[in-house]
Copies of this chain bind each other. A is one copy, B any other.
Amino acid sequence: MPDTDEHIRFDDLVAAIDRTLQAAGASPEAASIMARNFAGCERDGALSHGVFRVPQIVETLNTGYLDGTAEPTAEAVSPTYIRVDAKSGFAQLAIERARPLALQALEQHGMAVIAIRDSHHHSALWPDLEPFADAGFVAITAVTAGVPNTAPLGANSPVYGTNPLAYAAPVAGSRPLVVDFATSAMSMGDVTLTANEGRQVPEGTGLDSEGQATTDAAKIVAGGSLLPFGGHKGAALSLMVELLASALTGGDFSVEAAPGKPEGAASTQTGQFLLLIDPNRGGSADFAARAAQLIGVLRDAGIERIPADRRYRTRDEAEARGIPVTPAIRELLAT
């Protein structure tokens, strides 16, 4: 929690971000979707995906690499398979365009795949999934994260981005379970901070420029790579993300997207994969009730914090008292 007594209402923060994005050339619809997205991350305590990202997006819009006026086209190539050309625009707007087709597929056939190409995703993944889980669906998504800075053990150059993966599921009697994580062991930003402080990173965090494992943060920053989390299993997941979110969608791989990225651009044009399932078609018991049962088992085993618990608690506080005003928010309001 930032050390501040000043707070801002969610709607006011949304309005301020919306104005800023429209001033940078985003269409009213794109600005509105992204303003709610970044303000939502800020409200929920995910500050690294919150207002902090707004100036980065403004700069990326200014380069022309991210098109704030792009009109994504969604087509149902089958009753359950939706293919979206994001046309160099926001992935979140592409999802919005796919939503009516996806909801129809879910209603009629109990499932949908959304394959988005040529999209920019520069936020958390959980805002993409939470509405689907709120509506009772299981949702999974993966995004090729652009800047190649991650490589499996033994590689002498980075291959993957931080390639996040997320899933969401409805839970009876509580808000949905939504899990969202990078398949890299750490962010390059955190490794850089550690290097600047002259500290070491844990084993399994990264490689030096020769592809050798190191705990020397400075060597990782100087031409090395991050490692995927969890050894070869995590590496297999980083690879899966590129295959689903880029090869399957028609988007660029991390190594392909990066060279076309102009100076100052923060987001990268790749792709996103989403899978949506009505979980009650497969089983014989209500899914959300079953999920609640399993989470009960975890709590009974002494697990105090279930994924998303903290996010919802922070959200509740923000809804009661407003969102704490950080320097990033102050800067936003001053522009």
Contacts and interface: CB of A to CB of B under 8 A. Distances in A.
Interface in A241-260: 242-244, 246-251, 253, 255
A132 interface: no
A234 B115 CA distance: 25
A249 B117 contact: no
Question: Which range contains the number of A residues in contact with the other chain?
Answer: 35 or more
A86 interface: no
A157 B177 CA distance: 21
A189 interface: no
A59 to B, nearest CB: 29
A333 interface: no
A251 B290 CA distance: 10
Contacts of A304: 154
Given A110-B81, A307-B236, A152 B287 contact: no
A244 B287 CA distance: 10
Given A81-B109, A230-B230, A285 B155 contact: no
Interface string A287-317: 1001101100110011110010000000000
Contact of A281 (B77, B156, B273): B77
A33 interface: no
A240 interface: yes
Q: How many of these chains are in the complex?
A: 2
Contacts of A290: 246-247, 253
Residues of A contacting B: mostly: mixed
B282 A250 contact: yes
Interface string A166-198: 010100000001010101000000000000000
Interface in A203-229: 211, 229
A275 interface: yes
B301 A159 contact: yes
Contacts of A249: 282-283
A138 interface: yes
Given A247-B290, A284-B117, A152 B298 contact: yes
B247 A302 contact: no
Contacts of A211: 301-302
Nearest to A167: B240
11 contacts: A77-B281, A80-B109, A110-B113, A155-B302, A181-B236, A229-B231, A230-B233, A232-B307, A246-B294, A249-B282, A255-B297
